[in-house]
Structure 1
Amino acid sequence: MSPSAGGLVVFLLSVQVIQSQDGWGVNYRQTDVCAAKGSEVFITCDYTHPPGIDPSDIKDTFWFTKEKDGEPVDLTTDSEYSGRVTYGCNGKSCYLSITDVRESDSAEYKLTLMTNKPGEKYTGSPGVTLSVTGLQVQVRRSDSTWLELTCHSSCVLSDRAEYVWYKNEENIKTGSSLLVSSGSTDRYSCNLRGSSGQRSPAVYGPQRPSVSASPSAEMLEGDSVTLTCSADANPAANYTWYKGDGTSDPRLLSEEPQLVFSSIQSSDFGWYFCTAENQLGRKTSEFILIRVKYGPQRPSVSVSPSAEMLEGDSVTLTCSADANPAASYTWYKEHEDSPRASGQIFTITDFTAEHSGNYYCEAQNEMGRSNSTLLLITESGVDGTTRIIHITRWPLLVVMLILLLVFCLWTRKKKAVSSTTEPHESREAVEMDLHPECEDLSDMAAQREDPEEQEDRV
């Protein structure tokens, strides 16, 4: 048989290796062969026989790699080689041809000769060891602008092997290496010249990475959440995770394909993105918004106007709380079951003494609810002045002391007004002094006030 003209053929043309026994011998041309996956291997050998054997006495010759029950198995009967193996002899010269070789074909191949005499056979051993390798493109940076691509195999191919390079399926060059620009988005592969087999896997820079969140991009505070970055690339890409919305410098979080939150918190809310990079290029993913659901934090209350106001004026209370989803708001007056108002803003128009008391707001969403601190609005003074005092988690006794202090101040002011008809020298003394009992109350309040939770008086 002549070698196939359609593909690369590996011929074995090295120093003969001779195995002989009682005049029998097989001369393999080479004992170790390296072939690229998809190519055709062509093995030749010569055999000798004892002088008393006529060539016609040799009734059969075949090649094998396996034995069954101690007997060699003809390659043509092995299903793994079906349609890919042919062999034959011309006189004392024999050959073996394997087309479209696979990595599973890596094995030791031997020739067996059988005569007309029952049980008489001879096997040339050791045989020929075939190693089948796939081609790979190795990438090496030449300088800041260029990359050098080299066609590589795991075993040493024939010195006569030539390589062909492909760019996006188009044949562009012959040679062992190829220079390409850094950051190229093209795909490069190589093959043996004349081979009908498979090319090497193509190398290329990362495509735009995709990002995903598991279980989802909207989760509950305390959940375990994993963000995954993936990109089609060869060689495989390296990944980096960042947090940022593109308006400022992003914060580097991880250099792994996955970003894991074992217990996600409300502070983790925000935009995330990843990059994928290999020797040929770098790409950035789209942003993914992580929404963490959590109940309202303790609401804060603001008052407008913030200064003292007169009876009949309007006062506007505003409640706000950090929450996701956004909270709804309800306003209450202490010791009343029915709410005074709903919504973030509560306005009291035409304020009178009846409106005096403690107010608070409640923020609520599907995750929970939270109440603000008390807001004391009291009308005091003969001039109808209204005072607003924030009370922050104080014990009831302290609240009562504050009310008594307010009363003392009011009494003092009243006394100061009445003293305007007295001699001028006593006016300043009256305004500067508190009643002794009020001084005691002031000291008690100061002692019981939590230093970390000070009142906010408006």
Structure 2
Amino acid sequence: VPSRPAIQIPTDLTEGKRAPISCSVEHTCPPSPPTLQWNRAGYKLTDRQQSLKDGVWKAETVMEYLPSYRDHGAELECKATYPNGLRSQRRVTLNITFSPKNTRVLIPDGKKERKEGDAVSLTCESDANPAANAFTWYNNKRDGTVELREEQGRSITVTVGRGRETFSCTARNPLGTENSTLSELQVLFSPKNTRVLIPDGKKERKEGDAVSLTCASDANPAANAFTWYNNKRDGTVELREEQGRSITVTVGRGRETFSCAARNIIGDGKSTVLGLQVLYKAKDVIIEGKDEVKEGAALELECHFSDYNPPTTQYSYSWYLNGNPVNGETGRILQINNITESHSGNYSCNVQNGAGPSSSPGFAVTLTSATTGEEQLTTVISGISIISGSVAGAVLIILLILALYLYLRYRKSQKGGASGGRRVEPDYQNSQPTESPYAALQMGDTAVYDVMKNPQATESPYAALQMGDTAVYDVMKNSHSTENPYAALQLRDAALYHDIKLKNSERLDINPK
């Protein structure tokens, strides 16, 4: 029976430190010694023979071995093959010391999908000889790695959240340390940090612009349902027709701010409000002023509007007459002195701000002539004078007719009456036709006055007037056409009326006695 090889191995095999390992076998045939072979290749081998005693020889091979942690616990075999074909072998188990290798974070239950806030057990595993006896844990955040100083054991329990989704550890033994790879936990959480984004970043828009908005959030799994809101001053309105992650809206004065809500299977999250600075043109632009102006006077028109953004300090004005610019006029008030026919027509006001121009409706200005007004005033005054003269003439004629009537009644009563009243007859025959009728009237008036003054108490004063009718008639007959008899009659009528009034009052005083 062939002898079994003997393996000599150092007691301390440390990774990375070379160590000689020998395999030897005794034999008695020096010319044809047995062949020795290792089950490890790639190492330097040294073969030699040594004479022992009594014709016995020792065949030996020495391997310069470089220990590796991968060989720890493995079997090292040396096989001897004799010339007659017989074989024998010996095996030994390698005990190699090494620092921690293949360090890793393990989850005992194997579940890597967790909800935010779950408590998770973690274990720091490594291959080491001697075994690792010290551990350090890390929470690997997006903004850096944070050491969990309070956690030092091989196994720990952590509460997971959005900022604590990956972990790592470090294992140590007397020979060294090693960091684990990152262990990523699939932490499920509802949308956080929900916000409204504008892809181009522009928050200043014009009224009527189409603006793209995106609802962004941090969520796991990613948000898959969205609701959009238009935050008006009088309340929040849900945009039911807009449900996607990105929408396009047309902005206006009443739609300046927006918000969104993002949802996933865990929950939902609402964004803060995004405010858009909406610029819009001036609203309700109108012109105020007089639409009729006299030639040569001053024209003043004022441009008004009711709503705006940005403020009025950022506005400019321009004026137009019949569609043509009014040169040099850029203020809110248009003033033109000493206007002429060229200034009449259709005026409009244009208000310009950052959102664009806005024009007023046309305002028609007509020119009136200054002389036309004076002529109209003269015509009115003339008409009033004519009317006044006509009224005065009518009054005089009425008084004249009344006087003639009273006088004729008086004459009639004198002819047929029995009273002994004194009759006074003026001398009409001595009055020539060529004399002034006013002189004849004056003489007749004296006679009438005398009759009115001296009648008896029983006589009617109206009878006295009758005797003057002939004189009056003669005066009217013989007056020239170029003379105005009405003026003379007016003077006489006043005297007659006074005497009649006086005599009536005397009778009223006497009769009661």
Give the TM-score taking structure 2 as reference length.
0.36
**Bigger radius of gyration among the two:** 2
